[in-house]
Chain A
């Protein structure tokens, strides 16, 4: 082939390729859309921070206002057991010092700990703050059950003294939910179930619990024993702890461990002995919830216990890192 022939063939090739391959696509750079990355982060850090700001602002308005119409904003800030606790807290505000018992009080400058990874639901955000009233940080769990429902505060708990958190993956990478717990020393649901059972009063024996002893459960048990003793002449006291269904969320940390949030419903029950009448006027929470200052048959008080565990991946016991409780209901007759 002569040089002239080669140049001629090249010009044909250029012409045919430019025309045949879709000249418009070539000129405009049109291509197929990118594929879905199943482990992508569905929220940018800016989006997540805007959500925190929105929810905490609404929480603060709802928590601190006396105007009943404005309390509807609680629904825009809280969901599930978080909403139940917030409503009760507002209702009991007269008799319950908010700053002292409110882990859900809207804080300053929330720190975003973890954002979701992947496109499954539910999705969670984790945040941490320091309450203006106290030195202990508060952990927050914000949940979104489906694409159309915004993130709201589902649980929060004050960190215990001398506890710390292991780091999560970066916000750009996201933190996945642990769904089955097989890669942890104990499955989250089993852990919460064992913890709830371990706090029952009268106490039930449990060998080799998957969690280490902690101050919170110790105080709950001690107080139950104290109450039982105080009312022994007039009533029989018992206490049950039940994990709230669908309240357990475990978020993977960078090293493979997990932070597990859960809500336990605690019921204090008093069976008044025959012929006895118990004056409950001193218990202002109970009076406000039930309207009763005297009971002759039975009484019960329901509390929500928000607990957060650090669960190791390979060996060792789970450790309680945060816990808070809130009275939410009462009944008496």
Chain B
């Protein structure tokens, strides 16, 4: 391998390795030893909050959904096959999670529809359901997807000022992040060593040439 190519690749590996090490360490710090990732949003518009399967079923670990009403009213969290949840909500006012920001821990909402959906309280489609005064919490296990979670008012009144938090937790994530950091660190160290070694070798050759010149 030509020396110049090797030197360029070495620099690339050092940069990538360092990036991985920083990324892994940063994730390990963010997730903590429990491997918990938490995302929250407070809805400004009235209507149900919806978590579709591209978020709810995107990871093979349970999702804990917590909903808290600022007015202390009744709130319910329900989960159903996506086809059924969409049919129940129909064209009612909903705020759907459209973006998840890590590590900021925030969620984006996309608002659509008008009016309430009384079917949320009457329908038999919900596989899981939790209801409470002020707040409600539900843990959605995986393996039944695609499913959709809905946070709705637990009474006839409209749902306003509700804060929803989605929490995923997997201890393996913390160790995975550590492993990534370690791989990056090793890669960067190895490439740095190789660059150092090559530079030293070049210096030695140059020095040898000069010596040979002196002898001849």
List residues of A whose CB falls within 8 A of some B CB: 1, 4-5, 7-8, 11-12, 14-16, 18-19, 23-24, 26-36, 40, 42-44, 47, 51, 119, 144, 146-151
Contact = CB atoms under 8 A, between A and B. Distances in A.
Given A8-B194, A29-B59, A33-B145, A148 B102 contact: no
B83 A30 contact: no
B54 interface: yes
B104 interface: no
16 contacts: A8-B9, A8-B194, A11-B17, A16-B16, A23-B20, A30-B58, A31-B59, A42-B81, A43-B124, A44-B127, A51-B124, A119-B81, A147-B87, A147-B88, A147-B125, A148-B88
Given A12-B9, A33-B146, A27 B82 contact: no
Contacts, number: 119
B93 interface: no
Interface of B: 1, 6, 9-10, 12-13, 16-17, 19-20, 23-24, 27, 37, 52-54, 56-61, 81-84, 87-88, 90, 102, 117-119, 122-127, 145-146, 168, 170, 173, 176-177, 180, 183-184, 187, 190-191, 194
A150 B102 contact: no
Contacts of B125: 42, 147
A122 to B, nearest CB: 12
Contacts of B124: 43, 47, 51, 144, 150-151
Contacts of B52: 33
B122 A148 contact: yes
B146 A36 contact: yes
A19 B146 contact: no
Given A26-B180, A27-B27, 7 more contacts: A15-B187, A24-B27, A31-B58, A40-B81, A42-B84, A42-B125, A149-B123
B12 A12 contact: yes
Given A11-B191, A147-B87, A147-B88, A27 B176 contact: yes
B20 A147 contact: no
Contact of B20 (A1, A19, A32): A19
A102 B181 CA distance: 72
B102 to A, nearest CB: 7
A18 B180 contact: yes
Contacts of A1: 1
A150 B123 contact: yes
A5 B24 CA distance: 26
A15 B23 contact: no
A14 B12 CA distance: 12
Closest 4 CB pairs of A and B: A148-B119, A147-B87, A33-B53, A15-B16
B17 A15 contact: yes
Nearest to A118: B83
Contact of A29 (B13, B60, B102, B180): B60
A31 B55 CA distance: 10
Interface centre among B19, B56, B83, B117 (most CB of A within 10 A): B83
A270 B200 CA distance: 117
A113 B12 CA distance: 65
Contacts of A43: 124
A27 to B, nearest CB: 5
Contact of B57 (A11, A34, A151): A34
A299 B100 CA distance: 70
Nearest to B188: A15
A28 B88 contact: no
A28 B173 contact: yes
Contact of B180 (A23, A31, A36): A23
A38 to B, nearest CB: 9
Given A15-B184, A33-B53, A147 B123 contact: yes
Given A36-B146, A147-B123, A28 B59 contact: yes
Contacts of A31: 58-60
Contacts of B53: 33-34
B93 to A, nearest CB: 16
Nearest to B23: A23
B34 to A, nearest CB: 14
A30 to B, nearest CB: 5
A120 to B, nearest CB: 10
A151 B123 CA distance: 8
A33 B6 CA distance: 42
Contacts of B6: 8
A47 B127 CA distance: 7
A11 B145 contact: no
B54 A32 contact: yes
Nearest to B120: A148
A88 B56 CA distance: 47
B180 A146 contact: no
